[in-house]
């Protein structure tokens, strides 16, 4: 039978790394089994759901390469279907109308708190007579629909990640609210735990993979599945993503939305690669730099850990740098050129752009690093203290730069290639008796304003093509 998986995001915020990781695990399992990956937008909370968030979630999934197989479904368009199923539950006596007001619920909670009891509904309207119901309605009281959860109910499922999980009805908080408040004999809009069951059944979902924070929901949902006589999917609950303090990663942990990772210069394939390791690892496999399709071939739910997965910037950065290193040059150049364009930096030729990209490729961690690393090739860099001190403390450095300058000018050299650059350095070193190493360091200060930077000879080649090598040397001699 075809495996059908889904991501069911609520569009109440930007695509978050936790949701993206859930999407990834569902996508990987669907790909591995030649199944389908579907999307359902859970937008029944009309106050908090926004279409911009739906767009952001879909864009983010697309950016990560997590393509879906069928047109996404929106719960807001299916309200009448849920209500029909709620009526079914009312008819068979598995659900009932509950008129308990918010203040009465609050009162009950307070009482339970005082006695040190966990919050649990007391099901006081479970057995109202039709006369009592009519009376409440005529008093203008609003009602919710509650699903009966017997204290004795036993729930058990084989979780693909956690093994056997058992729950008891008495630990599920009393009879479950299925719909929002409504007046008269209306049924209000359905709530998450009910709509999810109806939809997973309607969409023929065979496997539900979601965060461990949904474990108690799964227990409640299984009871609804039973009452509606729906076939149960196979459940898997993934570990939470934790911050460095071991707490659930949240919006408070500076960066959590996929947009922010994109903005910071992470590659979609690197972020997806890293996210797969947030809770999953292939035993016995050493290679950690993998494409999504490579991961999908080796992915197994049984290899997903139960323990929380600590988020590590260090590892994410390393994975990103490796993906940049392995990237095809023209593709990387395409990414980098966007930054140059934003800065208004112009290059002499496409060949030059590719050469500069190759020069900085191995030292980049984030795509954004290309801005600082390519800046000296577009604009005059400031001579830093380290550079100034080097020129001042090493006799002959200015003199050597002067010699190089006059050589470049006398010979009317405009374009330097690697061999020629080496020849110039040799000649000047012989003429001035300054060691080649010192000479090259002086040039480095001229080009980059400090003693670090990419390969000097290749840098000189690129700078000479823009004719900025002369200007850069001159500014050290003023
Ligand atoms: N809308 C729920 C959420 O975003 C879906 C959970 C589920 O997968 O059932 O947490």
* Closest C-alpha residue for ligand 1 atom 5: 8
Q: Is 9 in the pocket of ligand 1 (CB under 6 A)?
A: yes
The domain tally of the chain equals: 4
Contact 366, 473 (CB under 8 A): no
Contact 22, 238 (CB under 8 A): yes
Query: Do the domain assignments include residue 1?
Result: no
- Do 256 and 345 sit in the same domain of this protein? no
Give pLDDT tens digits for 70-95.
999 999 999 999 999 999 999 999 99
Q: Which domain holds residue 400?
A: 385-475
Q: Is 270 in the pocket of ligand 1 (CB under 6 A)?
A: no
Contact 142, 183 (CB under 8 A): yes
Query: Do the domain assignments include residue 148?
Result: yes
Pocket mutation for ligand 1, best pick of 4, 6, 10 (most atoms within 8 Å of C-beta): 10
Query: In Å, how far are 260, 271, 301, 441 from 232, measured between CA atoms?
Result: 37, 33, 18, 70
Give the Å distance between the CA of 255 and the centre of ligand 1. 21
Torsion 229-222-301-299 (CA) sign: positive
Query: Do the domain assignments include residue 37?
Result: no
Question: pLDDT-derived band of residue 107, with 50, 70 and 90 as boundaries?
Answer: very high
Across the chain, what does the average pLDDT equal?
95
- Do 88 and 182 sit in the same domain of this protein? yes
Pocket mutation for ligand 1, best pick of 4, 5, 6, 8 (most atoms within 8 Å of C-beta): 8
Give pLDDT tens digits for 297-313.
999 999 999 999 999 99
Q: CA-to-CA distance for 261 and 267, rounded, in angstroms?
A: 8
Query: Do the domain assignments include residue 452?
Result: yes
- Do 105 and 126 sit in the same domain of this protein? yes
Query: Do the domain assignments include residue 62?
Result: no
Pocket mutation for ligand 1, best pick of 4, 48, 196 (most atoms within 8 Å of C-beta): 196
- Among residues 81, 280, 105, 74, which one has the least CA distance to residue 181? 105
Q: What is the CATH number of the domain that holds 223?
A: 3.90.800.10
Give the Å distance between the CA of 9 and the centre of ligand 1. 6
- Do 110 and 220 sit in the same domain of this protein? yes
- Do 255 and 339 sit in the same domain of this protein? no
Q: Is the pLDDT of residue 395 over 90?
A: no
- Among residues 186, 99, 105, which one has the least CA distance to residue 141? 99
Question: pLDDT-derived band of residue 293, with 50, 70 and 90 as boundaries?
Answer: very high
Give the Å distance between the CA of 37 and the centre of ligand 1. 15
Query: Do the domain assignments include residue 43?
Result: no
208 CA closest ligand 1 atom index: 8
Query: Do the domain assignments include residue 257?
Result: yes
Percent of the chain with pLDDT over 90: 88
Q: Is 191 in the pocket of ligand 1 (CB under 6 A)?
A: no
Q: Is 212 in the pocket of ligand 1 (CB under 6 A)?
A: no
Query: Do the domain assignments include residue 405?
Result: yes
* Closest C-alpha residue for ligand 1 atom 3: 9
Give pLDDT tens digits for 224-277.
999 999 999 999 999 999 998 889 888 778 778 999 999 999 999 999 999 999
Contact 55, 74 (CB under 8 A): no
- Do 234 and 354 sit in the same domain of this protein? no
Question: pLDDT-derived band of residue 291, with 50, 70 and 90 as boundaries?
Answer: very high
Give the Å distance between the CA of 443 and the centre of ligand 1. 59
- Do 222 and 307 sit in the same domain of this protein? no
- Do 89 and 231 sit in the same domain of this protein? yes
- Do 184 and 295 sit in the same domain of this protein? no
Contact 212, 239 (CB under 8 A): yes
19 CA closest ligand 1 atom index: 4
With a threshold of 0.75, does the pTM exceed it?
A: yes
- Do 406 and 331 sit in the same domain of this protein? no
Place of tokens 């007579």: 129
Q: What is the CATH number of the domain that holds 267?
A: 1.10.1160.10
Q: Is 16 in the pocket of ligand 1 (CB under 6 A)?
A: no
Pocket mutation for ligand 1, best pick of 5, 6, 42 (most atoms within 8 Å of C-beta): 42
- Do 335 and 303 sit in the same domain of this protein? no
- Do 313 and 332 sit in the same domain of this protein? no
């Amino acid at each position: 039978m075809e495996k059908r998986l889904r991501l069911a995001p609520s569009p109440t915020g930007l695509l978050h790394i936790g949701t993206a990781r859930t999407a990834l695990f569902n996508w990987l399992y669907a790909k591995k089994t030649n199944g389908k990956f579907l999307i359902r937008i859970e937008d029944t909370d009309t106050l908090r759901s926004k279409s911009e968030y739906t767009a952001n979630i879909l864009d983010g999934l697309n950016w990560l390469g997590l393509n879906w197989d069928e047109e996404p479904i929106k719960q807001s368009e299916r309200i009448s279907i849920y209500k029909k199923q709620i009526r079914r539950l009312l008819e068979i006596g598995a659900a009932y109308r509950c008129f308990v007001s918010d203040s009465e619920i609050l009162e009950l909670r307070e009482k339970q708190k005082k006695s040190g009891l966990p919050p649990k509904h007391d099901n006081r309207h479970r057995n109202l007579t039709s006369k009592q119901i009519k009376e409440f309605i005529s008093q203008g009281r609003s009602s919710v629909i509650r699903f009966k959860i017997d204290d004795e109910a036993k729930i058990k499922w084989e979780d693909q990640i956690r093994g056997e999980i058992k729950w008891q009805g008495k630990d599920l908080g009393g009879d479950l609210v299925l719909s929002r408040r409504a007046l008269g004999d209306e049924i209000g809009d359905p709530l998450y735990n009910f709509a999810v069951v109806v939809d997973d059944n309607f969409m023929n979902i065979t496997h539900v993979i979601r965060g461990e924070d949904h474990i108690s929901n799964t227990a409640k949902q299984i009871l609804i599945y039973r009452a509606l006589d729906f076939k149960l999917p196979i459940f898997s609950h993934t570990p939470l993503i934790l911050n460095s303090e071991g707490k659930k990663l949240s919006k408070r942990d500076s960066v959590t939305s996929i947009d922010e990772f994109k903005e910071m210069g992470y590659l979609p394939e690197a972020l997806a690669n890293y996210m797969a390791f947030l809770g999953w690892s292939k035993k016995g496999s050493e290679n950690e730099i993998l494409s999504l399709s490579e991961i999908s071939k080796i992915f197994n739910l049984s290899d997903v850990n139960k323990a929380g997965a600590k988020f590590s910037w260090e590892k994410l950065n390393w994975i990103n740098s490796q993906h940049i290193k392995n990237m095809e040059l023209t593709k990387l150049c395409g990414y980098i050129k966007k930054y140059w364009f934003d800065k208004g930096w112009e290059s002499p030729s496409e060949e030059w752009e590719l050469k500069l990209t190759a020069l900085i490729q191995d030292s980049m961690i984030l795509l954004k690093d290309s801005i600082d690393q390519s800046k000296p090739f577009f604009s005059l860099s400031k001579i830093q203290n380290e550079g100034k001190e080097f020129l001042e403390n090493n006799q002959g450095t200015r003199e050597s730069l002067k010699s190089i300058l006059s050589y470049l000018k006398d010979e009317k050299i405009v374009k330097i290639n690697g061999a020629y650059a080496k020849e110039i350095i040799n000649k000047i070193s012989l003429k001035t008796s300054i060691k080649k190493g010192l000479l090259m360091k002086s040039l480095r200060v001229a080009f980059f304003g400090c003693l670090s930077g990419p390969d000097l000879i290749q840098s000189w080649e690129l700078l000479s093509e823009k004719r900025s090598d002369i200007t850069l040397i001159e500014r050290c001699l003023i």
